[in-house]
Chain A
Amino acid sequence: NAGVTQTPKFRILKIGQSMTLQCTQDMNHNYMYWYRQDPGMGLKLIYYSVGAGITDKGEVPNGYNVSRSTTEDFPLRLELAAPSQTSVYFCASSSIRDSYSNQPQHFGDGTRLSIL
């Protein structure tokens, strides 16, 4: 009963370093998303994917890259970390089955990332 699993939970990076935030879901969901949450703000969409091999930009994609080689995994890559990328990152997934319904998204517990 894992749902959406994110690793690591916490990370501190130096400016200019790179890292990959991992996200895995075991619900066979086609849709996956990456959001960032800044203090006092709602979540902003970074990238999303509608299925393996298909990704697209969200509202705030600059400085990030994603890939979707399998249905289960949707890693988020930071190539050159900047202080502005200090945030809490959430991965989410949802089902394709209910095309016309309000199928909710399932969220991971987040990765808290600090860039110093």
Chain B
Amino acid sequence: AQSVTQLGSHVSVSEGALVLLRCNYSSSVPPYLFWYVQYPNQGLQLLLKYTSAATLVKGINGFEAEFKKSETSFHLTKPSAHMSDAAEYFCAVRRDMGRRALTFGSGTRLQVQP
């Protein structure tokens, strides 16, 4: 079964610093991968999704992620953190084509220090 592992439950960066949130997947075939963001007391919003067309995926709010098959990774980055980026971020993989449900990582809470 496909799964994702997010390294680091909490990440703290300074405003303007690089954001790097790590996600590794376990899959024997190219997976369908997603990054979602959750702001306090809100539902999940899609940041970006992996398509086989490109290994570097650009999402909303300046975020991007690079699919690396050799490392089975799909890390999320942003060159310069903003205070408004403080939220919880979830990496997810589609588990199977039938039910199309997502398997989520445990999440990484991003804090941005002024």
Residues of A within 8 A of B (CB): 4, 31, 33, 35, 40-45, 48, 50, 56, 58, 90, 92, 94, 101-105, 107-110
Given contacts A50-B99, A104-B34, contact A42 B104 (CB under 8 A): yes
Cα distance, A92 to B99, chains bound together (Å)? 13
B106 at interface by CB-CB < 8 Å: yes
CB < 8 Å A-B pair total: 61
Residues of chain B at interface, number, CB under 8 A: 26
- Given contacts A40-B107, A42-B107, A102-B34, whether A90 and B101 have CB atoms under 8 Å apart is no
A42 touches which one: B90, B100, B101 (CB < 8 A)?
B90
- Would you call B42 and A33 a contact (CB within 8 A)? no
Q: Are A102 and B49 in contact (CB under 8 A)?
A: yes
Contact of B49 among A31, A42, A104, A108 (CB under 8 A): A104
Chain A residue at smallest Cβ distance from B105:
A42
Q: Which of A56, A105, A109 has the most CB of B within 10 A?
A: A105
B100 contact from A44, A90, A94, A107, Cβ within 8 A: A94
Q: Which residues of A contact B106 (CB under 8 A)?
A: 40-42
A106 nearest CB neighbor, chain B only: B46
A110 in contact with B43 given A40-B9, A48-B101 (CB within 8 Å) = yes
Q: Which residues from A are CB-within-8-Å of B49?
A: 102, 104
What sequence of 0s and 1s flags, for each residue 38-68 of chain B, a beta carbon within 8 Å of any chain A beta carbon? Answer: 0001111110011100000000000000000
B94 at the binding interface (Cβ < 8 Å)? yes
6 A–B pairs (Cβ distance < 8 Å), ordered by A: A48-B101, A90-B43, A102-B32, A102-B34, A102-B94, A109-B42
